[in-house]
Structure 1
């Protein structure tokens, strides 16, 4: 079937007039409005949800992984000469930065309140080149940590659980894994700053001076490992594996895919599942379009018969109703796309304002990766959603258009 026979000036004019005309029965007009509204809602929601999922993906990569180590190299008995090891690791061009750290799993205590913590002993001078921690800390927080050997920076979640503020003293209880019968170590620390990243990192992360942490760790005078910043996040497992293979026995590695990979996979799975569900909404709206066009065919049988007697071919009748269906789909998709883009731009502030008005918080960082609703609009997603919607509407209009072409003039005009 040639497109020229389906779509010409005549079919465009008549199809467009049918599409924008409101001279239908009330039922036809209602169903037409309903199908258009369904398209608007489906397209808008799909764009907003995909933008929110993109926002979660961006925050995981830029915020959480900007704070937590991307890759780590450990030794079973601690690392004595970290400077030499760092120089060796940085010979690999995929390693951008490296810094020593001491990792301690402990329990903070303040008055009657306790909070578990993942404590990292870091060198403030090197740490600023490795991650974006300073973006979420008060000015000169690292300088205070460097000057005060007993200083500690705690996440906002830990501070809330302990009910402490900057200047308070807290104790760190460190279990001795090497000897189950030995008493745990206790270290008194001063809170010099509070980390506020609005992510689940705030619930467990604490930072202290690397030398103080080393003396309190299982291997005094040594560091636990080396934190790495790599050139490609998704190559981190391969990079760690390659580095371990050239190091002596006793070294092992870890990377962000082990610590936060499940969150990343969950975000992408949720995006795909929710996208599929909302795509079904568009499909349902397309079925409403089928109902609309079939009722228009029944309502306009007399008009179709007159067009046929005036010389319109079956192909031109098909073209008329294809254009009408496409016009409804184009209007619904366009309005939905514009509405979706606008909502994607304002959804973060909108939810934040709603939380403030209602006095509740929808997302808590102890349950979700971040404590606010992010959004990152991708124009490629907008184009894909719009194209998919128009594609579905095009095929939804095929059957009603074929039914219109089968109307027999004599039968349709018999009772006119």
Structure 2
């Protein structure tokens, strides 16, 4: 296949030479590679955060929550049975939750206590599958705690802990004594907020603590496909009437996912300027080259090559630098993402700074997921920048060299 003259000349000018222009060209391509790598790494990490949040939230929380308009949901068993008749429903279980104060010796912690039905909970939650000590058992005097709660209070399976609900301490009729519950097991789901902030007990114990005996605060519905939550919620509104309000996981956690998407878009917008700066360095290199090659440009014009062919040389050069830099950047990004946790631990150890505090990010390691869409977006944008970077030098090169351009210095 015959290679166009402008492309062959562009490749000739890009070959390494012992000159300042060659060094600057290499630096420009390194700049493009770094810009591409940074963009891909950031977008991959943000996508990873989004997916981890979805996985953890959808595994720990219901896809649809059926809540009463007021008071407690007294007939939760019939509601669960009605819900389970719908197509695509994996399970339904009652929930009664609230803030409690837990004490073990001198240690105190305030997690969210969830009162559940132990049998039904296995169909709607991943907690029974994530037990790290003993089992998911919820007898009348038993509690299952998160690994973070156990660490804070120094708990082991078999220990007895004191639990009290603030709203149940004193009312107009009687003083309620704290409950003493035995730790039946410890779970670990791998998300700091849940491991540190939740404990489980039976529905009767929670009802006693929260003064809501016999009822549930809501019915939690788990689906085969979480993306069908809106359809299921609409069906539940028709079946269950106006006494309850079904809410989807998207409605309950909309702020989290919206914030993640906004943050991802803003990071992409800001870091795109890194690639833009690298493209400006390509423009600078090509303008320098047009000055250096003035004599050769004039000679090509004297041999009959038009302005379009001359401009094509510099456009091809800009695009070629972009392709090489983008390819190197994609490879560098893949390497960084593969070893991201090792790099993070090394940096934390050397700088003696916790770069991913679990208290803030609620994760034990840095998540990342690279998608074809993100890589294509970054590569396309950077190649566009690099192609545009060659426009001004191409225009200058096409106008230069008139009449032989003898005043220019011959390039190496």
Q: TM-score, normalised by structure 1?
A: 0.88
User: For residues 414 and 388 of structure 1, do their structure 2 counterparts lie closer, same or farther at Cα, with a shift above 3 Å needed?
Assistant: closer
User: For residues 214 and 44 of structure 1, do their structure 2 counterparts lie closer, same or farther at Cα, with a shift above 3 Å needed?
Assistant: same
Q: Note if contact 1:97-1:129 (Cα within 8 Å) is conserved in structure 2.
A: yes
Q: Could you tell me which residue of structure 2 aligns to residue 306 of structure 1?
A: 299
List aligned pairs for 1:187-336, cutoff 5 A: 187-199=179-191, 200-234=193-227, 236=229, 239-240=232-233, 242-244=235-237, 246-336=239-329
Among candidates 3, 13, 26, match of residue 18 of structure 1: 13
- SS state at 2:163 partner: strand
* Cα distance, 1:97 vs structure 2: 1.8
Q: Is 2:153 the partner of 1:158? A: no
Q: Note if contact 2:98-2:112 (Cα within 8 Å) is conserved in structure 1.
A: yes
- SS state at 1:160 partner: helix
Among candidates 335, 345, 349, match of residue 338 of structure 2: 345
Q: Give the whole-Å Cα distance in 2 for the aligned partners of 1:108 and 1:255.
A: 31
The count of aligned residue pairs is 405
User: For residues 362 and 184 of structure 1, do their structure 2 counterparts lie closer, same or farther at Cα, with a shift above 3 Å needed?
Assistant: farther
* Cα distance, 1:354 vs structure 2: 4.7
Q: Could you tell me which residue of structure 2 aligns to residue 77 of structure 1?
A: 71
Q: Could you tell me which residue of structure 1 aligns to residue 117 of structure 2?
A: 123
- SS state at 1:130 partner: coil
Per-residue deviation, residues 192-214 of structure 1 (Å, max 9, x unmatched): 22222231112211111233333
Q: Could you tell me which residue of structure 2 aligns to residue 87 of structure 1?
A: 81
Q: Note if contact 1:322-1:401 (Cα within 8 Å) is conserved in structure 2.
A: yes
Q: Name whichever of 37-46 and 246-255 sits farther off.
A: 246-255
Unaligned runs of 5+ in 2: none
Q: Is 2:391 the partner of 1:398? A: yes
Q: Give the whole-Å Cα distance in 2 for the aligned partners of 1:164 and 1:411.
A: 87
- SS state at 1:219 partner: coil
* Cα distance, 1:13 vs structure 2: 1.2
Q: Give the whole-Å Cα distance in 2 for the aligned partners of 1:357 and 1:109.
A: 38
Per-residue deviation, residues 93-115 of structure 1 (Å, max 9, x unmatched): 35332112222321111222221
* Cα distance, 1:236 vs structure 2: 3.5
Q: Name whichever of 230-239 and 180-189 sits farther off.
A: 230-239
Q: Give the whole-Å Cα distance in 2 for the aligned partners of 1:184 and 1:293.
A: 81
Q: Note if contact 1:321-1:400 (Cα within 8 Å) is conserved in structure 2.
A: yes
Q: Could you tell me which residue of structure 2 aligns to residue 176 of structure 1?
A: 167
* Cα distance, 1:177 vs structure 2: 6.4
- SS state at 1:78 partner: coil
Q: Note if contact 2:144-2:184 (Cα within 8 Å) is conserved in structure 1.
A: yes
Among candidates 159, 167, 180, match of residue 158 of structure 2: 167
**Alignment RMSD (CA, Å):** 2.6
* Cα distance, 1:258 vs structure 2: 4.9
Among candidates 344, 359, 363, match of residue 366 of structure 1: 359
User: For residues 77 and 138 of structure 1, do their structure 2 counterparts lie closer, same or farther at Cα, with a shift above 3 Å needed?
Assistant: same
User: For residues 227 and 396 of structure 1, do their structure 2 counterparts lie closer, same or farther at Cα, with a shift above 3 Å needed?
Assistant: same
User: For residues 177 and 109 of structure 1, do their structure 2 counterparts lie closer, same or farther at Cα, with a shift above 3 Å needed?
Assistant: closer
Q: Give the whole-Å Cα distance in 2 for the aligned partners of 1:177 and 1:212.
A: 12
Q: Is 2:101 the partner of 1:110? A: no
User: For residues 115 and 257 of structure 1, do their structure 2 counterparts lie closer, same or farther at Cα, with a shift above 3 Å needed?
Assistant: farther
Unaligned runs of 5+ in 1: 1-6
- SS state at 2:295 partner: helix
Q: Give the whole-Å Cα distance in 1 for the aligned partners of 2:296 and 2:387.
A: 23
Q: Note if contact 1:185-1:216 (Cα within 8 Å) is conserved in structure 2.
A: no
